[in-house]
Amino acid sequence: ELVAGALQDHGRARIVGTRTFGKGSIQTVFPLSEDSALKMTVARYFTPRGREIQARGIVPDVVVAPLRGKSGAEGLVLREADLEHHLETTLPAQDGTALPARPMQRAALESTRMFGSGDDLALATAVRMLAPDLGLAHEAGALLRKLGLKIEASAQAVAKSL
């Protein structure tokens, strides 16, 4: 969000996609006693031109809505804001062992497979917008397919590690 806002404010990039999440604050936990603490917002993020990010996010220059029209689970697009406890702080196990994967992590991983595939409308739009500027108009489709294969391979590796 910070990079997208800075690039947009300085006219250095066209932002493509949907509005970002809007996490633009920093909290610090102050211990009060053995079993209590105070969580306080100590800073907020702003873009170079002074736009606040918290709870507003960055609105793209070219809005590309998530793919719709599919039925059931295929029609859903998982976002961080949709996840239960998405802003909670979690700590790893104290003994250094990996925590078991939760079902929501697996669901989030499955949804990322859309990214880079033929169903990724935002990526396809961005490549089509940039291709003429880069002299690659005839190669846009091949670039999308190649990127999709690399992303799928990475997603499979992550799935095996969960």
What values do phi and psi take at 148, rounded to 5? -60, -40
28 CB-near residues (< 8 Å, 6+ apart)? 39, 40, 42
Q: What is the mean pLDDT of residues 32-59?
A: 95
Handedness of CA 78, 79, 80, 82 (dihedral sign): negative
Q: What is the pLDDT of residue 145?
A: 74
Q: What is the mean pLDDT of residues 13-17?
A: 89
What phi and psi, each to the nearest 5 degrees, are found at residue 42? -110, -10
**What's residue 82's pLDDT?**
57
The β-bridge partners of 52 are 46
Over the stretch 114-155, which tens digit does the pLDDT of each residue have? 555 556 777 778 777 777 776 666 676 677 777 777 777 777
**Which of 41, 16, 37 lies closest to 28, judged by CA?**
41
Judged by DSSP in three states, 34 sits in coil
pLDDT > 90? residue 97: no
pLDDT, position 154? 79
Say whether pLDDT at 43 is over 90: yes
- pLDDT reported for residue 79: 58
CB-based contacts of 91, cutoff 8 Å, min separation 6: none
Q: Are 52 and 46 in contact (CB under 8 A)?
A: yes
Q: Where are the domains of the chain?
A: 1-65, 99-162
Confidence of residue 89 (pLDDT cuts 50, 70, 90): low
Q: How far apart are the first and last CA of the chain?
A: 27
Mean pLDDT for 29-54 is 95
Q: Which of 105, 100, 64, 81 is nearest to 23 (CA)?
A: 81
pLDDT tens per residue across span 57-83: 999 999 887 655 554 445 555 555 555
User: For position 10, what pLDDT does the model report?
Assistant: 97
Q: Which pTM was predicted?
A: 0.55
Beta carbons of 44 and 25 less than 8 angstroms apart: yes
Mean pLDDT for all residues in the chain:
75
